[in-house]
Amino acid sequence: MREQDRHTRVLYELCSMIIHILRSPPLPICFPSLSLLSSPPSSSSSLPPQISPAAFGSLFIGISIALMLFGSVTFVIGLILMPLVITLVLLFYFVGIVSNLSEIGSTFSGLP
C-alpha cells in the first residue's frame, strides 16, 4: 500500500511540475547586442519565475525518453508473456472441445 502511495505521489508531483511549466511560457531569447540597448525591467519581482528554453527542451526530452523506456519495458514483458497467453488460450480451447465431446457422447449413450 505504501509503495502505491509513493508511486502516486511521485506521479502527482511530476504532473504538477509539467502543468506548472506549461503554464509559464519560456523566456524570450535575448541577444547580447540588443541587451545593451534596452533598459533592464524595473518590475522583475512581479514576474513569475520562468524556465529557459534549454531547460524546457530538456524537460520534454526527459519525458520522451522516460516514455520510450517504459514502452520498451512493457513491450518486452508482453513479448515474454505472449507464449503463456497463447498456451492458456489453446488449453481452454482444448478443454472446451473435450467437454463438448463428452456431452455429445453422454447424449448418444443415454448416460447422465
- The burial class, CB within 10 Å (0-12 / 13-18 / 19+), for 16 is exposed
Cβ atoms of residues 53 and 28 within 8 Å: no
CA distances from 46 to 24, 35, 42, 43, 50 (A): 14, 20, 9, 6, 12
Please report the pLDDT score of residue 21 as a whole number: 75
Q: How far apart are CA 29 and CA 52, in angstroms?
A: 9
In this structure, which amino acid lies at residue 93? Y
The tens-digit pLDDT sequence of the chain (112 residues) is 677 788 888 888 888 887 877 776 666 666 565 555 555 555 545 555 677 888 888 888 988 999 999 999 999 999 999 999 999 999 999 999 999 988 888 887 776 5
Q: pTM value?
A: 0.40
Cell numbers for 52: 529557459
Each domain of the chain, given as residue ranges in start order, spans: 2-25+51-109
pLDDT at 31: 56
